[in-house]
């Protein structure tokens, strides 16, 4: 049989507005009015304006950074072009120095490969379809020895000279059609592979040696006739 104390446990709370916290009372929100809605709208608009202003500032900052980056890129590109131009000019000057050095040295030789040299010059020929320059030309009685001069002689120079320049010489200079043409290469320095290949392809090879030039072909070498 339940006691009066147990009955009290299941009694309905006579004050439903009470909450568990001591003295706490739930206050229901009042009905929305035009003034409340207007204030809410103004607050939302204020926050929207602040967001727009923030986004605009960030966009301006990004645009400024982009302009600065573009300016730096253009400046870097200008520097690279100036350096490339300077290097190109330096390479041209070095090449001209090498050509002048070997021209003067070869000019002093009374004979080359057993051929008496009558005069020394340069050859430049051009047609509608091609043009070629031969850095040093040694003229014999009925023989023409033409040289390609490089500051640093490489295998690619040897190949290009044999494949592209020597085969067309008589087309560019028909006045030497009856001449025997011999090819030669020379360099202030030369890679071993370039020297070896040039000799194998029948070319004369000169390099700098101290204050003089040195013929690198072996004794008894017979140059190829083009």
Tell me how far apart the alpha carbons of residues 183 and 204 are, in angstroms, rounded to a whole number.
6
Question: What pLDDT was estimated at residue 104?
Answer: 94
| Position with higher pLDDT, 49 vs 79 | 49
Which CATH architecture fits 104-215? 3-Layer(aba) Sandwich (3.40)
* Helix, strand, or coil (residue 116): strand
Question: What pLDDT was estimated at residue 6?
Answer: 52
| Position with higher pLDDT, 17 vs 168 | 168
Question: What pLDDT was estimated at residue 24?
Answer: 43
2-11, 87-96, 98-107, 140-149: range with lowest mean pLDDT: 2-11
Q: Is the pLDDT of residue 201 over 60?
A: yes
Question: What pLDDT was estimated at residue 21?
Answer: 43
Confidence of residue 30 (pLDDT cuts 50, 70, 90): low
Pair type for strands 119-126 and 131-139:
antiparallel
Q: Is the pLDDT of residue 23 over 80?
A: no
Percent over 70 (pLDDT), the chain: 73
Per-domain boundaries in the chain = 104-215
Cβ-in-10-Å burial (0-12, 13-18, 19+) of 26 comes to exposed
Q: Which residue has the tokens 């390609």?
A: 148
**pTM greater than the 0.85 cutoff:** no
| Position with higher pLDDT, 186 vs 12 | 186
- List of E strands, 35-160: 111-112, 115-116, 119-126, 131-139, 143-153
Question: What pLDDT was estimated at residue 159?
Answer: 97
| Partners of 225 in beta bridges | 182
What's the whole-number mean pLDDT along residues 2-25?
Answer: 47
Q: What is the chain's mean pLDDT, rounded? A: 81
Pair type for strands 115-116 and 111-112:
antiparallel
What's the whole-number mean pLDDT along residues 187-206?
Answer: 96
C-alpha dist (Å) from residue 94 to 87, 97, 101, 154, 224:
10, 5, 11, 15, 29
Model confidence over 70-129: pLDDT tens digits? 666 565 655 555 444 444 444 457 878 899 999 999 999 999 999 999 999 999 998 888
Question: What pLDDT was estimated at residue 92?
Answer: 52
Q: Is the pLDDT of residue 173 over 90?
A: yes
């Amino acid at each position: 049989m339940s006691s009066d104390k147990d009955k009290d446990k299941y009694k309905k709370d006579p004050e439903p507005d009470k909450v568990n916290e001591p003295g706490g009372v739930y206050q229901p929100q009042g009905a929305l009015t035009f003034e409340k809605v207007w204030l809410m709208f103004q607050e939302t608009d204020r926050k929207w304006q602040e967001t727009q202003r923030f986004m605009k500032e960030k966009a301006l900052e990004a645009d400024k950074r982009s302009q600065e980056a573009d300016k730096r890129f253009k400046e870097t590109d200008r520097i690279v072009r100036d350096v490339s131009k300077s290097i190109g000019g330096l390479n041209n000057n070095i090449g001209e120095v090498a050509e002048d050095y070997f021209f003067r040295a070869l000019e002093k030789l009374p004979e080359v490969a057993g051929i008496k040299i009558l005069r020394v010059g340069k050859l430049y020929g051009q047609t509608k379809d091609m043009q070629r320059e031969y850095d040093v030309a040694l003229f014999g009685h009925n023989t023409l020895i033409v040289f390609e001069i490089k500051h640093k002689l490489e295998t690619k120079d040897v190949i290009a000279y044999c494949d592209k320049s020597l085969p067309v010489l008589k087309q560019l200079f028909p006045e030497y059609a009856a001449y025997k043409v011999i090819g030669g290469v020379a360099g202030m320095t030369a890679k071993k592979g370039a020297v070896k290949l040039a000799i194998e392809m029948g070319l004369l090879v000169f390099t700098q040696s101290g204050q003089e030039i040195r013929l690198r072909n072996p004794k008894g070498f017979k140059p190829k006739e083009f």
